[in-house]
Amino acid sequence: MSTLLYSQLARYYDRMYAAKDYRSEAADQIRLIEKVRRSPGRELLVVACGTGRYLEHFEKRFRCTGLDLNPPMLRIARRRVKSSRLVVGDMSTFDLGRQFDIVACLNGSIGYLHGARTLRQAVKRFADHLKPGGVLVISPFVSPEEFVVGRPLLHTYEDADVKIARAVVSRLKNRNVALLRFHWLIAERNRPVVHVDDDVHELALYSHEALLEAMRRAGLAARRARVPAPVRGSPWLCLGTKPLGRP
Ligand SMILES: C[S@@+](CC[C@H](N)C(=O)[O-])C[C@H]1O[C@@H](n2cnc3c(N)ncnc32)[C@H](O)[C@@H]1O
């Protein structure tokens, strides 16, 4: 299985999300974070930061670090962000040796962690990287109840030089994991048309309660909150606050 979107196809990632309003999503998330956090600092970590679309807005207000598994995504982020520090790492095992006021895992990226044990391990990593009073924000991928099997989906993008169509029919790999085998057609100026059919994404379907429970097990006070519905994403955020006095 290969997930080409974050490697060979990384340069098309931003085009696939061109309609997503990262600026207003980041503003909604900041409003909520400021309501719930009790640690006053400005250190923010985005795990699975991708091409830096959230970081570019967060860094206007916070001192940001971005972590991602895939160097091609970080190479694009490096060109986008101004002051954020970017590191290659796996969100289920990383250790940056310092703590943050805010840790965020956004846009359903948590789904790339498979199985309850890996989820708990990752959320513990997130919690250990929080200062006392700090807040963890996870925007979930689709929950098992929301996932529709057999649904055809088509995302398109076009400008004068590039036309892209990406199609998939949603399937289940098993009861808790979505299997999305994307088919791409990419037409670029002065190049042969490319057809890619082995961009395969397996995404765990966690209920919000499973995410909140992983936060509680990691010692955080957990709850969820609704934000204005984003383009292609959940209107819910799962929030975990580290008690003051807990290292
Ligand atoms: C849907 S993209 C979201 C990127 C970014 N948050 C955004 O919204 O634009 C998922 C990201 O998760 C990253 N990723 C997948 N598994 C990961 C892991 N185990 N650790 C860190 N990053 C991971 C991918 O490289 C990709 O950049």
162-212 per-position pLDDT tens digit? 999 999 999 999 999 999 999 999 999 999 999 999 999 999 999 999 999
What pLDDT was estimated at residue 201? 97
The model's pTM: 0.97
In contact, 30 and 58? CB cutoff 8 Å: yes
CA-proximal residue: ligand 1, atom 14 (nearest): 48
Mutational test site, ligand 1, from 1, 5, 68, 119, max ligand atoms within 8 Å of CB: 68
Average pLDDT over residues 91-115: 97
Residue 147: in which H helix or E strand, if any? none
CA-proximal residue: ligand 1, atom 1 (nearest): 109
Q: Which atom of ligand 1 is nearest to the CA of 51?
A: 9
What pLDDT was estimated at residue 230? 85
Q: Report whether pLDDT(1) > 70.
A: no
What pLDDT was estimated at residue 246? 80
CA-proximal residue: ligand 1, atom 6 (nearest): 49
For residue 246, the CA-to-ligand 1 centroid distance in Å is: 29
Closest CA to 203 of 172, 226, 229, 182: 172
State pLDDT tens for residues 141-157. 999 999 999 999 999 99
Distance set, CA 202 to CA 117, 181, 185 (Å): 17, 9, 21
What pLDDT was estimated at residue 143? 92
Instruction: Match 């098309």 to its residue by tokens.
Output: 12
The confidence band for 233, taking pLDDT boundaries of 50, 70 and 90, is confident
CA–CA gap between residue 194 and residue 77 (Å, rounded): 25
CA–CA gap between residue 184 and residue 172 (Å, rounded): 20
For residue 39, the CA-to-ligand 1 centroid distance in Å is: 26
Q: Report whether pLDDT(227) > 80.
A: yes
What pLDDT was estimated at residue 89? 98
Using CB atoms within 10 Å of the CB of residue 242, give its burial: 0 to 12 exposed, 13 to 18 middle, 19+ buried: buried
Closest CA to 140 of 241, 237, 230, 66: 237
What pLDDT was estimated at residue 182? 97
Percent of all residues in the chain with a pLDDT value above 90, rounded to a whole number: 94
Q: Which two tokens stand for residue 178?
A: 């979505």
Residue 57: in which H helix or E strand, if any? helix 55-58
What pLDDT was estimated at residue 42? 98
Pocket of ligand 1 (CB under 6 A): 6, 47-51, 53-54, 68-70, 73, 90-92, 106-109, 112
The confidence band for 137, taking pLDDT boundaries of 50, 70 and 90, is very high
Q: Which atom of ligand 1 is nearest to the CA of 17?
A: 9
For residue 212, the CA-to-ligand 1 centroid distance in Å is: 20
For residue 134, the CA-to-ligand 1 centroid distance in Å is: 22
Mutational test site, ligand 1, from 81, 109, 201, max ligand atoms within 8 Å of CB: 109
CA–CA gap between residue 34 and residue 211 (Å, rounded): 21
What pLDDT was estimated at residue 155? 96
Mean confidence (pLDDT) of the chain: 96
When comparing pLDDT for 163 and 2, which is higher? 163
What pLDDT was estimated at residue 222? 98
Question: Helices marked H in 89-230 — which ranges?
Answer: 116-128, 208-217
CA-proximal residue: ligand 1, atom 17 (nearest): 69
